[in-house]
Amino acid sequence: MPKAIFFDLDGTLTDSGPGIMNCAEPALAHFGIQVRHRDELRVFVGPPLRQSFARFGVPEEDIDEAIRVFRERYVPIGKFENTPYDGIDGLLAQLKAEGYALYVATSKPEVTAMEVLEHFDLAEYFDRICGASLSKGRETKEDVITYLLDQIGDPGQVVMVGDTDYDVIGAKAHGIDTIGVTWGYGQRESMQQAGAVALADTPDALHALLTRRFQSLEI
């Protein structure tokens, strides 16, 4: 059977935290919301912006405005305050050479995800890059995976790779197991509690875990 890997983007392939946090801070300040420590903004990396702004107390009726202020800086500047994690390029090249079909399933707007991956010369590894829509309707990881599956049909044997419990939960809704990576912005314990089948501390460890996981799926 075909072997497919669905990758999260932020916190999994690239360290997008600096740019996201640099844009979340003024968006919150727009509503008079201050954070005591910058690390509090780490929760913006991964989940849909709508959820993160609500978490910080932005009223539902103001969330669209918060997202507008966020994107006002993020679109021209913040999306490139970003760096691929060490070893990711080599990992993707190796997996592609081994015959895996690679896909991106991210809560980042799809057009932005494509721009980021093309900017860092990573887009070439993926058969399809799927993300959130700029309008309401496709925001959560579960929504994005639904959209991806609609585009590609039955992917055969598939594993999700992500750095937060949102990835684990979104994939589990489709009966897909997740291997969590610990170099991103999620918590080991949260991913384990959500049901991650394994955790990888390095890209090399991720490759080994993926190899073993697909071997076990073949039995």
Token pair belonging to 26: 């003024």
Which position has the token pair 């919301």? 33
Contacts of 120 (CB under 8 A, 6+ apart): 14, 82, 84
SS3 percent helix, strand, coil of the chain, rounded to 5, is 50, 15, 30
Distance CA 133, CA 116 (A): 16
Task: Count Cα neighbours of 43 within 13 Å in the Cβ-side half-sphere.
Answer: 11
The beta-strand segments (E) located in the chain are 3-7, 14-15, 83-84, 101-109, 128-132, 157-162, 177-181, 198-200
Cα–chain center distance at 204: 19
Residue of 8, 10, 163, 167 marked active site: 8
Query: Considering only CA atoms, which of 14, 211, 217 is closest in space to residue 104?
Result: 14
Asked whether 50 and 56 are in contact (CB, 8 A), the reply is no
Owner of token pair 């590894």? 125
**In this structure, what DSSP letter does residue 124 have?**
G
- Find residue 50's DSSP bridge partners: none
Q: Is 10 a catalytic residue?
A: no
Q: Which residues are catalytic?
A: 8
